[in-house]
């Protein structure tokens, strides 16, 4: 064969290879799509989900794609349909607001599996939800905040008064008071999941009001940055936010979706998908604390570690009565423990928290 001939042959072979439909080559590679409610650059909620997505590529050789900043509206249904048309059979929907929409899509496509974010409001044979008991690590961060505050005022920058947020704030406050009954807890609502300038301004307002530890339930590290700039401490959210304020960042709850996502994909591939509302927390590693700041005294570190183990073993119940709400109504009678359902339907703040009532928002 002449050189020309060989070159021509190789070119044609390459072209032919490109024309082979991807599916036949990708039989062993699962196609997994992630739909995010915010940008990956939020360094928070979505960022942690994306870490899990990339883990799936490495660990399982999965072919993945993602959609960022997808609003929880009918457009999400369109996008899901388009993903399914492109052959993505496993969808991870990373926000509560997609649940109703996912159920619609799941009905039309029984061969597609959808893993959503809880608390679960409805299941289907091909739908499950996952949810993290955020109040567990928040209690621990409350203990730390209570011990590290010198001004006895702790601030919390909160997004929306929803079930993912309110129990977290309540658990945080209860932790603060368990470690430091004199401390004040102030809450400011930003009404946004992700708006760095607004979150920073809210943190600054809390600092001006005397807070020297700023905690948050927001998707961006802006409050950590505000605390760092003012020389105060901060407790983060969702991810390890130390890079945004190394001297300020005490710790924070961190989500690790990798083991759960991997287990779910493996189960789907093995035909063992389990439709359920799964709740994870400290015990299964879904939630953990970011590495603790070196300024935290060893005694505090020991106390937190003990509390962590007690929560896992069940010895320590975060929401054990008596607990009153801001108006004074007894929400949890003495000696009783709040059920999971009650925790995830919380619409009130614990008595003693200084801030607007969630129902007034």
Partner 1 sequence: MADATLAIERPAPRPRIPEWVEAILVRLAGIVAALLVCAVLLLLQGYHPLLAYADMAVGAFGSRFAIEQTLLKAIPLMLTTLGVTLTFTAGLWNIGAEGQLTIGALAAAWLALNHPSLPALVLLPGMVLLGLLGGALWALVPAVPRAYVGMNEVISTLLLNYVALLVVDYLVFGSWADPTAFNFPYSPAFSDTARLPMLFGDVHLGLVFALAATVVVAAALGHTPWGYEIRTSGASPGAARYAGMPVTRNILVAMAASGALSGLAGMAEVSGMIFRVQQGLSPGYGYSAIIIAWLAKLNPWAAVPVAILFAGLLNGGFALQTSKVPAAITYMIQAAILFLVVAGESLLARVRRARAAAAQKAALGGAR
Distances (CA, A) of 106 to 109, 118, 157: 5, 16, 36
CB of 65 to partner 1, least distance (A): 6
CB of 305 to partner 1, least distance (A): 32
55 versus 293: smaller Cβ distance to partner 1: 55
82 versus 309: smaller Cβ distance to partner 1: 82
Using CB under 8 A, list all residues that contact partner 1. 33, 65-69, 71-75, 78-79, 81-83, 85-86, 88, 96-97, 119, 121, 160-163, 166, 191, 344-347, 358-359, 361
66 versus 244: smaller Cβ distance to partner 1: 66
Using the 8-state DSSP alphabet, how is residue 162 labeled?
S
Cβ atoms of 36 and 68 within 8 Å: the answer is yes
| DSSP conformation letters of 272-340 | -----EEEE-TTTTSEEEPPPPTTS-HHHHHHHHHHHHHHHHTSS-TTBS-EEBTTS-EEE-TT-B--H
182 versus 359: smaller Cβ distance to partner 1: 359
CB of 91 to partner 1, least distance (A): 11
74 versus 263: smaller Cβ distance to partner 1: 74
CB of 360 to partner 1, least distance (A): 8
Cβ atoms of 194 and 39 within 8 Å: the answer is yes
**Which of helix, strand or coil describes residue 193?**
coil
Using the 8-state DSSP alphabet, how is residue 350 labeled?
B
CB of 277 to partner 1, least distance (A): 12
Give the H or E element holding residue 131.
strand 127-132
CB of 315 to partner 1, least distance (A): 28
In 3D space, the residue among 171, 160, 130 whose CA is nearest the CA of residue 48 turns out to be 130
Cβ atoms of 90 and 109 within 8 Å: the answer is no
CB of 32 to partner 1, least distance (A): 13
CB of 173 to partner 1, least distance (A): 18
306 versus 339: smaller Cβ distance to partner 1: 339
CB of 53 to partner 1, least distance (A): 12
Cβ atoms of 119 and 96 within 8 Å: the answer is yes
183 versus 350: smaller Cβ distance to partner 1: 350
Alpha helices in 127-195 (DSSP H): 135-148, 166-179
248 versus 349: smaller Cβ distance to partner 1: 349
CA distance 340 to 128: 17
290 versus 338: smaller Cβ distance to partner 1: 338
How far is Cα of residue 165 from the mean position of the Cα atoms in its chain? 10
In 3D space, the residue among 303, 255, 299, 245 whose CA is nearest the CA of residue 280 turns out to be 255
CA distance 300 to 251: 13
Residue 238 makes CB contacts below 8 A (sequence gap 6+) with 44, 45, 47, 48, 219, 252, 253, 254, 255
């Amino acid at each position: 064969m002449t050189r020309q001939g060989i070159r021509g042959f190789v070119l044609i072979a390459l072209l032919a290879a490109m024309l082979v439909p991807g599916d036949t080559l990708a039989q062993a590679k699962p196609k997994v799509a992630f739909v995010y409610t915010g940008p990956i650059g939020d360094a928070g909620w979505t960022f942690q989900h994306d870490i899990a997505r990339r883990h799936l590529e490495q660990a399982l050789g999965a072919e993945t794609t993602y959609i960022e900043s997808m609003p929880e509206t009918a457009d999400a249904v369109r996008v899901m349909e388009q993903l399914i048309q492109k052959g993505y059979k496993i969808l991870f929907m990373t926000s509560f607001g997609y649940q109703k929409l996912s159920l619609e899509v799941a009905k039309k496509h029984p061969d597609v599996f959808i893993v959503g974010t809880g608390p679960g409001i409805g299941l289907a044979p091909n739908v499950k939800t996952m949810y993290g008991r955020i109040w567990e690590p928040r209690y621990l961060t409350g203990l730390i905040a209570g011990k590290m505050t010198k001004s006895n005022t702790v601030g919390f920058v909160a997004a929306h008064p929803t079930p993912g947020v309110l129990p977290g704030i309540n658990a945080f406050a209860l932790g603060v008071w368990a470690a430091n009954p004199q401390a004040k807890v102030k809450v400011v609502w930003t009404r946004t999941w992700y708006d760095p300038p607004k979150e920073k301004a809210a943190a600054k307002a809390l600092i001006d009001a005397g807070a020297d530890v700023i905690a948050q339930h927001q998707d961006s590290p802006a409050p950590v940055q505000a605390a760092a700039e003012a020389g105060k401490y901060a407790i983060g959210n969702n991810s390890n936010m130390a890079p945004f304020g190394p001297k300020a960042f005490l710790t924070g709850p961190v989500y690790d979706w990798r083991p759960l996502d991997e287990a779910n994909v493996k189960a789907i591939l093995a035909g063992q998908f389990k439709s359920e509302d799964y709740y994870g927390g400290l015990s299964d590693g879904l939630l953990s604390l970011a590495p603790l700041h070196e300024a935290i005294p060893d005694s505090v570190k020991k106390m937190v570690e003990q509390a962590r183990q007690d929560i896992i073993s069940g010895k320590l119940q975060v929401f054990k009565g008596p607990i009153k709400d801001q108006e004074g109504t007894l929400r949890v009678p003495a000696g009783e423990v709040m059920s999971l359902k009650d925790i995830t339907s919380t619409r009130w703040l614990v008595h003693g928290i200084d801030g607007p009532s969630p129902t007034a928002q």
